[in-house]
Structure 1
Amino acid sequence: MSVAADTSFTHFTRTAERAANQVISAYSTSFGLACRLLGSRHRQHVRNIYALVRVADELVDGVTAEAGLSYQEQCDALTHFIAETHRAVKLGYSSDLIIHAFAQTARTAGIDDSLIDPFFDSMRMDLGERSEAPAAPLRFDSDAHDGYVHGSAEVVGLMCLRVFMRDENIDDGDAAALEYGASRLGAAFQNINFLRDLADDTTRLGRSYLGTSDHLEDRDRMEWVSTIRAQLADANAVIPMLPRDARAAVRSALALFQALTDRIEQTTVDELYRHRVRVPDAVKAGLAARAVASTWMELHR
């Protein structure tokens, strides 16, 4: 059955969105759960953002290498992905379904180069710089860590914030507070994932995002836990400033990462280097339910 010419673009865009949804289903049950708590006007846009970020992340995290691409070919693949993203945001179309879906969201929510470029800068950092394999392990000092976290996570939080606030009228002070909270939440999520992924990052990818030493100590773990708790607290403080139909989802995601932080605090560094800390699905569901209940009570006081 053919699609009428005047609806072909809409049909293509809906297909692109379904592709984005499949990326989330395949890679993150936790993020998918939080997205379901978003209001319908936000839900697909956030899924579109996640899909682009995930595909780019997979590109630099081993998929291209396992496909047999040389280092230069991996760099070329990322360069092509970046160029196509910019082209799609400018034109409103890409033959790449994931990029096309993201471009619709970017154009709707005002996600521009000030957020897109730092993200891709961090993806380039993951590939590192080398002339031939094998590469030396990548070790991020404090400045490199902060720059990487800004691009890989803080700007993603800011992209989502632009989706949430696209129809809102707020003053500069509130906007600055929300941007700070979104950045802090993104940073917390990334730092937690660095601790969760110590084993994979170290053994498979040869990366050390949390310092230049060969092996973290338990005191380092506790310092990062303290940093993360402060970041989560700053993010939690601005949730009541979000639109009503975004609060439960953000609370749910924040609660999940608080639970992960609690588990990391009780897990030695040696254990973190052996396995990834997880929260059981039943606990995730309970956290989501409490986030919904908390938001309902907040809105009906």
Structure 2
Amino acid sequence: MNAPTTQAATGLALYDRTAVDAAAAVIARYSTSFGLACRLLGPRPRPHVRNVYALARVADEIVDGPALEAGLTPVEAEAVLDRLEEECLAAVTLGFSSNLVLHAFAHTARECGIGPDLIEPFFASMRADLRVSRHDAASHDVYIYGSAEVIGLMCLQVFVNAGASHPVAPAPELVDGARRLGAAFQEVNFLRDLQDDRVRLGRDYLGLAAPEDRFVVLDRIDRDLAAAARVVPELPADCRRAVTAAHDLFAALAARLRSASADDVRVRVPDAVKAGLAARAMLGFAPRGAGA
């Protein structure tokens, strides 16, 4: 008996698959920690979350160095970012892009209900990186929303809607948790990258008047992590483990930042500890602080 033949994907199906693979390759190159958490997602949301983060990564690279290293001026880099936003919005409307990362993101956005209300604030914050060197309290909050909270909200749209016939609005408590988790992640990164942001990029996101002021930021991070932890059990089951692992990794980073000196804030979590956090999440434990 002849073996059954399997028809290979062609046309749009092949292009879609290639776009998703391209987004996954971007993420694999740039973030081992994110890759670990993403592998804990179920197969339903996993490719969509990669698509979201791949777009964010490409936009970051336009404003965080590589574009300038290639010889672009800040004005030229902003023009590139503007074109990326225009192409992104068009791709979401049309369902197609010649840019593979945008094509993958557009597929996710259309299926999961990610619209201009989330896309435009993200690009506005990326644009601020080329325009604002020192943030005050108001611009800090606007930046955090666009650069981090909306990424959490995009992921929440994926968690709730991937595979559904029609996207629905997530519950308000999940929206609050997604925003606060995204904000906590970003502020941990601000503290870890404090010196690099100031010296290499010429940016000050936190406006700390004295080294000990970072404890005010750490207290805010702890409150946001605790609030986010309490709603993780309300997420779909195939998302909880990944969110728990990511939450606990950043909680561990925050704890190490609290015990580090102000001059040595580029802390990291050892690989063995990361593996333990992932194993704990895999076993179904709630995020640390969920009962706070």
Instruction: Give the structure-1-normalised TM-score.
Output: 0.88
1:286 to 276, 285, 289: 276
Q: Is the 8 A contact 1:217 1:269 kept in 2?
A: no
Task: Tell me the CA shift for residue 70 of structure 1.
Answer: 1.7
2:179 is aligned with 1:183: yes
Which of 191, 211, 218 in structure 2 is aligned with 1:225?
Answer: 218
In the other structure, the counterpart of 1:265 is: 258
Superposed displacement of residue 217, structure 1: 2.8
Q: Shift of the alpha carbon at 1:71? A: 2.2
Q: Measure, in 1, the Cα distance between the counterparts of 2:146 and 2:85.
A: 14
Does the CA-based 8 Å contact 2:140-2:205 persist in structure 1? yes
Residue type of the alignment partner of 1:206: G
Question: How many aligned residue pairs are there?
Answer: 278
1:35 to 24, 38, 41: 38
Separation of aligned partners in 1, 2:87 and 2:167 = 33
Give percent identity, aligned residues only. Answer: 55
Backbone CA RMSD of aligned residues: 2.1
Normalized per residue, the structure richer in helix is: 1
Q: 1:162 aligns with which of 157, 166, 172?
A: 157
One-letter code aligned to 1:197: D
Q: Alignment partner for residue 126 of structure 1, among 111, 126, 129?
A: 129
**Alignment check: 8 A CA contact 2:59 2:126 kept:** yes
Instruction: Provide closer, same or farther for how the CA distance between residues 52 and 170 of structure 1 changes in structure 2, counting only shifts above 3 A.
Output: closer
Judged with a 3 Å threshold, the aligned counterparts in structure 2 of structure 1 residues 126 and 290 are, in CA distance, closer, same or farther, namely: same
The unaligned stretches of length 5 or more in structure 2 are 1-6, 287-292
Give how far 1:17 is off. 1.0
The answer as to whether partners of 2:112 and 2:167 remain within 8 angstroms in 1 is: no
Q: Is the 8 A contact 1:255 1:287 kept in 2?
A: yes
Q: SS in structure 2 opposite 1:41?
A: coil
Tell me the alpha carbon deviations over residues 177-219 of structure 1, each in whole angstroms, 9 at most, x when there is no partner.
00000000000000000001112101110000001x5xx5332
- Give per-residue Cα distances to partners, 1:84-130, cap 9 Å, x unaligned: 1011111011111111110000001000011001000101100106x
What is the deviation of 1:266? 0.8
2:166 and 2:127 mapped to 1: Cα distance? Answer: 36
User: Deviation at 1:271?
Assistant: 1.6
| Structure 1 pair 101–232 and aligned structure 2 pair: CA distance change class (3 A) | same
Match of 2:228 among 225, 235, 239: 235
Counterpart residue identity of residue 288, structure 1: A
Partner SS, residue 278 of structure 1: coil
CA distance in 2, matches of 1:73, 1:239: 41
Q: What are the equivalent positions in structure 2 for 1:12-161 lying under 5 Å apart?
A: 12-128=15-131, 138-161=133-156
For 1:185 and 1:32, the matched residues in 2 are separated by: 18
**Structure 1's 13 and 199: CA in aligned 2 closer, same or farther, altered over 3 A?**
same
Q: In structure 2, how many angstroms separate the alpha carbons of the residues matched to 1:219 and 1:92?
A: 49
Letter in 1 for 2:152: G
* Letter in structure 1 aligned against 2:45: H
Tell me how far 1:10 sits from its aligned partner: 1.0
Return 5+ residue gaps in structure 1 as ranges: 130-137, 297-301
